[in-house]
Amino acid sequence: MRNPTAAARPLLALLGLLLAAGCSAPGAPAAAARTPAATPAVHAAPGRNPAAARAARAAAFRRWGVPLLPPPPAPPAVKPVRTGGGQIPVVSRIPTTRKIVFVTFDDGAEKDPRFVQMMKDLRIPFTMFLTDDIIRNDYAFFKPLQALGNPIEDHTLSHPDLPTRSPARQRQEICEQQTRLTREYGVRPGLFRPPYGDYDAATRAAVRSCGGLRAIILWRESMQIKDVAFQDPGRRYHPGDIVLAHFRGPSELKGESMTAMVRNMLRSIAAQGFTVAPLEDYV
Ligand SMILES: [Zn+2]
C-alpha cells in the first residue's frame, strides 16, 4: 500500500469525513447528500496533485469495498457504433477489443442518497435510462448524478411493453419523454432503451421520428440482487458488453441496499479484469 504523501494527508482526512458522512446515515434525508459541501475534494485534485488524487481515489474504493478499477481508457477517435444512417441501430455490445464494459441504470425508482455519494466518490461512468412516471416525484434526485457527467436517456413515459401498443402510442411514449427529459435536465437524450428490451418495427420508426435519438440500447448482462445474470453460458464479460442494473432498493432487493448491489456488480466486473467506460463515447 502506498504511503500517503504529506500533501495527500489533509485530503485523505477530508475524504474520510465525507465518506463517514455518506456511509453512516442510511436514513438521512436525500438533501443531506446533495448539498454542495458533499462534493468530494478528491475530484477537484487531479490538476493540482495527481499522486494525491490517485491515493484518495484508491482510498475511496477501499472505503466502499470495491476493488480499484482502472480509470476508463481515452475515448476512441471515431465512435465504433455508426449512427445517423437509414436504420436506427440496436446495440447490446460495443465493438471494441478493450477490456471495458458499460454500466446502465434503469427506471429511477430507488432514490438513495448514499448511491449519489458512492458515485461522487468512485466516479464510475454510467448511463441512466429514466421513465417519467417513476422519476416525476423527485426529478432533482438525478441532477447530481448527471452533474458527474452521467447522461440521462429515454426509457418512455410510463414503461409499457411497447409492441403491445399502437404505433401512435409508442411514438407518444418515446417522443414525449424526450421532451420532458429535455425540459427537466437541459439535455436532449440521444439513446433509447425499450422497457423489458421489447421492441418492434414501429418502435424503431418511432425512435427515428422523435429527433435526436440515434440508437436503441439493450444489454448483455443484468445485475440481480447479488449476482450477475450472464447471457453467455460461460458467465464471462466480453469487451464492450452493456450491463443492465436498476435504481432499486431494499423493497425490491430483499433488504439489500442499492449501494450493496452496485458494490457486488463492480466486484464482478473487476474480478474478470474489466473496467467501466462511458457508453456515449462509443455510440
Ligand atoms: Zn425499465
Q: Compute, in angstroms, the gap from residue 248 CA to the centroid of ligand 1.
A: 11
Task: Give the cell for residue 271.
Answer: 474480478
Q: Compute, in angstroms, the gap from residue 66 CA to the centroid of ligand 1.
A: 26
Q: Compute, in angstroms, the gap from residue 200 CA to the centroid of ligand 1.
A: 16
pLDDT at 283 over 80: yes
Average pLDDT on 149-178 reads: 98
Q: Compute, in angstroms, the gap from residue 168 CA to the centroid of ligand 1.
A: 20
Q: How confident is the model at residue 47 (pLDDT cuts 50, 70, 90)?
A: low
Q: Compute, in angstroms, the gap from residue 116 CA to the centroid of ligand 1.
A: 20
Q: Compute, in angstroms, the gap from residue 196 CA to the centroid of ligand 1.
A: 6
44 CB-near residues (< 8 Å, 6+ apart): none
Q: Compute, in angstroms, the gap from residue 195 CA to the centroid of ligand 1.
A: 5
Q: Compute, in angstroms, the gap from residue 246 CA to the centroid of ligand 1.
A: 8
Per residue in 90-145, pLDDT (tens digit) is: 999 999 999 999 999 999 999 999 999 999 999 999 999 999 999 999 999 999 99
**What is d(CA 22, CA 248) in angstroms, rounded to the nearest whole number?**
18
**What is d(CA 122, CA 119) in angstroms, rounded to the nearest whole number?**
5
The distance in angstroms from the start CA to the end CA of the chain is 37
pLDDT of residue 269: 98
Q: Compute, in angstroms, the gap from residue 131 CA to the centroid of ligand 1.
A: 7
pLDDT of residue 24: 31
pLDDT at 43 over 80: no
Q: Compute, in angstroms, the gap from residue 30 CA to the centroid of ligand 1.
A: 23
Q: Compute, in angstroms, the gap from residue 245 CA to the centroid of ligand 1.
A: 9
**What is d(CA 34, CA 199) in angstroms, rounded to the nearest whole number?**
36
Q: Compute, in angstroms, the gap from residue 40 CA to the centroid of ligand 1.
A: 31
Q: Compute, in angstroms, the gap from residue 37 CA to the centroid of ligand 1.
A: 32
Report which of 170, 105, 154, 159 is spatially closest to residue 134, judged by C-alpha positions.
159
165 CB-near residues (< 8 Å, 6+ apart): 173
Q: Compute, in angstroms, the gap from residue 161 CA to the centroid of ligand 1.
A: 10
Query: Is beta strand 228-230 parallel, antiparallel or unpaired with respect to 242-246?
Result: unpaired
Q: Compute, in angstroms, the gap from residue 154 CA to the centroid of ligand 1.
A: 10
In sign, the C-alpha dihedral spanning 62, 67, 70, 72 is negative
Ligand 1 (ion): residues with CB under 5 Å are 106-107, 195
Place of cell 437524450: 189
**What is d(CA 167, CA 199) in angstroms, rounded to the nearest whole number?**
11
Q: Compute, in angstroms, the gap from residue 11 CA to the centroid of ligand 1.
A: 39
Task: Give the cell for residue 222.
Answer: 443484468
Average pLDDT on 65-94 reads: 94
Q: Compute, in angstroms, the gap from residue 96 CA to the centroid of ligand 1.
A: 26
Average pLDDT on 228-236 reads: 95
Average pLDDT on 205-223 reads: 96
1 CB-near residues (< 8 Å, 6+ apart): none
Per residue in 235-271, pLDDT (tens digit) is: 999 999 999 999 999 988 888 899 999 999 999 999 9
- What residues are paired with 129 via a beta bridge? 106, 153
Mean pLDDT of all residues in the chain?
86
pLDDT of residue 55: 94
